[in-house]
Structure 1
Amino acid sequence: MNNFIIGIIVYVVSINLITFTLFGNDKRRSQKGGWRISEKTLLGLCVIGGAVGGFLGMRVFHHKTKHFQFFLGIPIIFILQVGIIIFLLVRRIY
């Protein structure tokens, strides 16, 4: 693999781990009545590559599952991200 593909993999794994962790952290804070992570921040992380982590965070922590913008938005963001990654990889290969 070349450095471009390795860079994409490292970025995607990192941003998804961060997003997943923050979903869990926000769930814990909501249960304890503490300071919360904004929905804008959580969705923003999903938009910049963390959609898988956000989706898994929703499912594992049962957090934000009834919010329409999360329930429907995160899968749509994921589909768009996969399309972009495929486009970039195909473009880089040819």
Structure 2
Amino acid sequence: MVELISNFGFLAVIYLVLNIIAFAAYGLDKTKASLNKWRVPEKTLLILAFFGPFGAYAGMLVFRHKTQKKPFTWAVPLFMLIHLILIGIFIFF
């Protein structure tokens, strides 16, 4: 039982870090866009959103970034839904 809690804590920290990285990447890309500098590729942002959808969504809202781009308007909420389902399965089953 203790090992399960320990593993869960480790996974929770990893998941939190992935979401923070996604959030930061959206902020970095927004900053770079406003300065007309090198940008984070959209493919990279979507990959980060797949692994950290809550951070990506928060980044979209906080930085008002990629909120009009079609792939982001449907993919990020879809990734969040998938993660919520997986988290529910992990917790309850």
TM norm. shorter chain > 0.5: yes
Residue 89 of structure 1: how far off its partner (Å): 2.7
Match of 2:86 in 1: 84
**Alignment of 1:41 onto 2:44:** yes
Identity of aligned residues (%): 30
Coordinate RMSD, CA, aligned? 1.3
Within 5 Å, which residues of 2 pair with 1:23-62?
A: 23-48=26-51, 50-62=52-64
Query: Structure 1 segments of 4 or more deviating over 4 A?
Result: none
- Between the aligned partners of 1:38 and 1:7, the Cα distance in structure 2 is 30
- CA offset digits 1:1-57 (Å, max 9, x no partner): 711210221011101111101100000001111111011111101112x10111010
TM-score by length of 2: 0.89
TM-score (norm: length of structure 1): 0.88
Q: 2: distance between equivalents of 1:45 and 1:84?
A: 17
Q: Kindly tell me the number of residue pairs found equivalent between the two proteins.
A: 90
Q: CA deviation at 1:90?
A: 2.9
* Separation of aligned partners in 1, 2:21 and 2:89: 25
Q: Distance in 1 between matches of 2:48 and 2:60?
A: 13
